[in-house]
Copies of this chain bind each other. A is one copy, B any other.
């Protein structure tokens, strides 16, 4: 699995919003939340290319970046390894921790029920 740092992931996330995207578009998208210098973001874009998370095509002197992986695929793999490391691969203890510390809303519960329901339907 491609290993990305937190900062790299946030930049990739900005590309996932809509792509292909140029460096300046990515910089624009990140400008609200982040205090990053333009150069910083460009460095991170380069590192993402080097790591194989982004590809690009030249459009004149600009680069048009496109993710090499789907967000869902990446987050799933990260989730798996997270749950493996912290909870021995079991997901319920993670959810349980949220529940115990009042981190769950009724909406979360409803969503979880739906996931369970869909799963059960899937099993026929």
Contacts and interface: CB of A to CB of B under 8 A. Distances in A.
Interface residues of A, number: 39
Contacts of A118: 99
Interface of A is mostly: helix
Contacts of A43: none
Each complex incorporates copies of this chain amounting to 2
A20 B122 CA distance: 47
A99 B96 CA distance: 17
Given A6-B85, A86-B79, A103-B80, A112 B97 contact: no
Given A109-B116, A109-B120, A86 B75 contact: yes
Interface of A: 6, 9, 72, 75-76, 78-80, 82-83, 85-87, 90-92, 94-99, 101, 103-104, 106, 108-109, 111-116, 118-120, 122-123
